Chain A
Amino acid sequence: SAVISQKPSRDICQRGTSLTIQCQVDSQVTMMFWYRQQPGQSLTLIATANQGSEATYESGFVIDKFPISRPNLTFSTLTVSNMSPEDSSIYLCSVVTENTEAFFGQGTRLTVV
């Protein structure tokens, strides 16, 4: 298994500002992902965080809005840029272990006012 620490757990931000979410894993993992869960909805994949190279974004998500860093195999950040109320969601990081089990951080509940 993998233990994932994600912070902050929640935040209230002003529109037009940016928030950086951190994800720390207790072991080295190759595969790390970021998801968004809009209110009352399911999870949607934002991007794959690639170590040492640019993240791979899913359709509908762009690097300018959601820049991602992955400096090593245990850490990643997701920034939500130039926020609007529509960005209010839960953001979750996830890792896939060598056993092909997918684990999640506890999520960051973001409210944009």
Chain B
Amino acid sequence: AQTVTQSQPEMSVQEAETVTLSCTYDTSENNYYLFWYKQPPSRQMILVIRQEAYKQQNATENRFSVNFQKAAKSFSLKISDSQLGDTAMYFCAFMKHRGGGADGLTFGKGTHLIIQP
């Protein structure tokens, strides 16, 4: 079974600063995907970024980027030029990939990110 650990229950930064959310995971699988989701108070789960384990290049999406360290089983999210709208819960998630489909996601406990004006 997989486990996902987010060790920062809450973080607070000033607007326009850069913030890094940490995530580590434990698995014996070699073929998997990692995700970061944002959940604002509306409770909608919004896909922020996805990383394929077999790709060494770190994924980026505009102001969001990851630092994927496969050997260390680490998958941190960096948010650059943070904005007030980035305030939300952020969840790290793991998905095992298998032939013909995928398993469901295993989530970390989340990090509550607060962007201060």
Contact = CB atoms under 8 A, between A and B. Distances in A.
Interface of A: 30-31, 33, 35, 37, 41-45, 48, 58, 90, 92, 94, 96, 100-104, 106-107, 109
Interface in B24-46: 33, 35, 37, 42-45
A45 B43 contact: no
A45 B44 CA distance: 16
Interface stretch (B14-22, B63-71, B99-107): B99-107
Nearest to A107: B43
A52 B35 CA distance: 29
A100 B23 CA distance: 20
Contacts, number: 57
Contacts of A48: 103-104
B45 A92 contact: yes
Interface residues on B, range: 20 to 34
A37 B105 CA distance: 13
A100 B42 CA distance: 25
A42 B109 contact: yes
A82 B95 CA distance: 31
16 contacts: A31-B101, A41-B109, A42-B109, A58-B104, A94-B104, A94-B105, A96-B102, A100-B33, A100-B52, A101-B47, A103-B47, A104-B37, A104-B44, A106-B44, A107-B43, A109-B43
Given A92-B45, A107-B44, A109-B43, A43 B105 contact: yes
Given A92-B45, A109-B43, A31 B102 contact: yes
Nearest to A47: B104
Contacts of A42: 91, 107-110
Contacts of B47: 101-103
A31 B1 CA distance: 20
Given A96-B95, A109-B43, A102 B105 contact: yes
B107 A43 contact: yes
Nearest to A104: B45
